[in-house]
């Protein structure tokens, strides 16, 4: 999926924090000890596994922050399909600088490529339907921005980024507020016209109550089995956007998409993706 690169200015704090963590208080003492400062090299970032690549922008920024004199040449773009042996990026310049940025660059690119690859696998299961796959807020603390960008690279869609993006009324909110009607009436009375509202239900009678009361733009159908999801789609009849969530495994996505829900959300995209094997070769 084509996703516009994020401004480096936004990404820099994430990358700087990772570099500071890795370089410690005294920098890369191994490299400083054994690699002469005058040694120059061209390193190649290669794919060792098939998938969808993500994090190349972050990897390039990593090397530039370590040493602005490094010349980074991209041979693939975030969102591209890759195969084992594909050349993704070349980094030319001081060998010591390349080695000092290697692990952080690989950590980002491998992790984010794993998310993009898993997302693409989920999306493939929705083929022939209008259902979209979306992520959740179940992301690595501090890395939500780039992990959600990786979901886009895998042709998925983003849910809200933070608690301030939209109203999402969960079962705990409903319990604390005294029911579905009270929370929806509070939304209608207080929320700005620019804020969308989603509410979670886990039974069809709750969905009927939401539809009768109004005030919700999206209904999250939580942990419903497939026959119940079909009934929910029929009951809603296009009046609200429907999002199926809860235990959305890869082997279930096709049957859920076939029910006609608008979105399938899965925390697994970001919390359970396996790092894609990439390597920096000298």
Is 55 annotated in some ligand binding site?
no
Instruction: Please give the distance of CA 246 from its chain centroid, rounded to a whole number.
Output: 17
**Is 83 labeled as catalytic in the residue annotation?**
no
Q: Residue 138 catalytic?
A: yes
**Is 40 flagged in the annotation as binding?**
no
Whether 231 sits among the annotated catalytic residues: the reply is: no
196 is in an annotated binding site: no
90 is catalytic: no
Catalytic residue among 16, 48, 76, 103: 103
The verdict on whether residue 113 carries a ligand-binding annotation is no
Flag whether 222 is marked binding: yes
Instruction: Say whether 267 counts as a known binding-site residue.
Output: yes
Choice among 80, 147, 222, 262 that is catalytic: 222
Selecting among 170, 181, 230, 231, the annotated active-site residue is: 170
Flag whether 223 is marked binding: no
Cα–Cα nearest to 103, from 254, 280, 249, 245: 280
Q: Which of 16, 76, 132, 138 is catalytic?
A: 138
Residue 148 falls in the annotated catalytic set? no
Is 17 labelled a binding residue?
no
Tell me if 39 is assigned to a ligand binding site.
Answer: no
Q: Is 245 annotated as a binding-site member?
A: yes
Going by the annotation, the residues of the binding site for substrate are 103, 136-138, 160, 170, 200, 222, 245-247, 266-268
Going by the annotation, the residues of the binding site are 103, 136-138, 160, 170, 200, 222, 245-247, 266-268
Catalytic residues: 103, 138, 170, 200, 222
């Amino acid at each position: 999926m084509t996703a516009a690169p994020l401004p480096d200015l936004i990404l820099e704090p994430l990358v700087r924090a990772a570099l500071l963590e890795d370089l410690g208080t005294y920098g890369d003492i191994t490299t400083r000890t054994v690699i002469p400062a005058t040694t120059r090299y061209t390193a190649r970032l290669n794919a060792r596994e098939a998938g969808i690549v993500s994090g190349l922008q972050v990897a390039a920024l990593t090397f530039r922050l370590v040493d602005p004199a490094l010349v980074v040449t991209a041979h693939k773009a975030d969102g591209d399909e890759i195969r084992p042996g594909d050349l993704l990026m070349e980094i030319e310049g001081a060998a010591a600088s390349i080695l000092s940025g290697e692990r952080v660059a690989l950590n980002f690119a491998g992790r984010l490529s794993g998310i993009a690859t898993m997302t693409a696998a989920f999306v493939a299961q929705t083929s022939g339907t209008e259902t979209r796959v979306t992520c959740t807020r179940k992301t690595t603390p501090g890395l939500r921005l780039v992990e959600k960008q990786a979901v886009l690279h895998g042709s998925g869609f983003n849910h809200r980024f933070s608690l301030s993006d939209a109203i999402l009324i969960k079962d705990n909110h409903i319990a604390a507020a005294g029911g579905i009607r009270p929370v929806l009436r509070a939304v209608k009375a207080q929320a700005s016209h620019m804020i969308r509202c989603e509410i979670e239900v886990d039974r069809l009678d709750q969905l009927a109550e939401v539809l009768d009361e109004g005030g919700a733009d999206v209904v999250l159908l939580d942990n419903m089995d497939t026959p119940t999801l079909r009934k929910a789609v029929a009951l809603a009849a296009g009046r609200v956007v429907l999002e199926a969530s809860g235990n959305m495994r890869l082997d279930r996505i096709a049957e859920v998409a076939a029910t006609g829900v608008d979105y399938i959300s899965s925390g697994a995209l970001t919390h359970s993706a396996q790092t894609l094997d990439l390597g920096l070769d000298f």
